[in-house]
């Protein structure tokens, strides 16, 4: 007996349709609840990113992301200089009015890709990936070296990176995560 038959039959439509209606209501509320949670998570991430502001860097899924207080021109000039500080050879560069990409290679043949995007108002979005799966330590070192090469008052130019460059690329950076105690100290 289909729904139409029940509506015109002797049975109480409300009592017979209630289980299906409750299931539909619960399903709808569950979907709305999940959507609300997802929106809350996404909204929270956006708010956290906005609160972090310009200059904050976040590492996720093998990529370091930052919005820098530098124009696209300043960032474009800083990337090769920062790579040079760490013994990285620039192998490819591409740029248009809004985006730029610089690809480099470490002495141990690890690929480094820096992507720049004009974010307006003197800011640039920067993305740095080291190797296939990423390396947070080297990504942050490249970003810090870039900041020293912007040449703006907020990021004065400097002669070199804050930390000594890795001698042999990724392997040296991995060793720097677990430094040995200094016997002279």
Please enumerate in sequence order all residues whose Cβ is within 8 A of that of 33, keeping only pairs 6 or more positions apart, or say none.
none
User: pLDDT band at 151, cuts 50/70/90?
Assistant: confident
Question: Higher pLDDT residue, 183 or 77?
Answer: 77
Residue in 111, 134, 165, 167 with CA at minimum distance from that of residue 64 = 134
Half-sphere exposure of 167 (CA within 13 A, CB side): 3
6-50 pLDDT tens trace: 344 444 444 444 455 444 444 444 444 444 443 333 333 333 343
Half-sphere exposure of 154 (CA within 13 A, CB side): 12
Above 60 in pLDDT, residue 167?
A: no
Token representation of residue 62: 């093998």
Q: Is the pTM of this model over 0.85?
A: no
Token representation of residue 110: 């690890």
* Per-residue confidence (pLDDT) for residue 56, from 0 to 100: 87
Token representation of residue 117: 């995007």
Token representation of residue 12: 């109480």
């Amino acid at each position: 007996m289909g729904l139409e038959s029940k509506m015109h039959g002797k049975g109480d439509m409300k009592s017979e349709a209630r289980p299906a209606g409750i299931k539909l209501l619960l399903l709808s509320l569950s979907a709305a609840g999940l959507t609300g949670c997802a929106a809350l998570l996404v909204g929270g991430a956006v708010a956290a990113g906005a609160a972090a502001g310009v200059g904050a860097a976040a590492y996720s899924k093998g990529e370091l992301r930052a919005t820098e207080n530098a124009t696209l021109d300043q960032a474009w000039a800083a990337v090769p200089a920062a790579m040079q500080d760490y013994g990285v050879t620039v192998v490819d560069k591409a740029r248009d009015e809004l985006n730029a990409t610089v690809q480099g290679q470490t002495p141990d043949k690890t690929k480094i890709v820096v992507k720049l995007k004009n974010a307006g108002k003197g800011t640039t979005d920067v993305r740095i990936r080291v190797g296939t799966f990423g390396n947070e330590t080297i990504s942050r070192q490249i970003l810090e070296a870039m900041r020293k090469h912007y040449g703006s008052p907020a990021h004065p130019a400097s002669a070199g990176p804050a930390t000594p460059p890795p001698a042999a690329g990724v392997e040296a950076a991995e060793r720097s995560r677990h430094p040995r105690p200094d016997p002279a100290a």
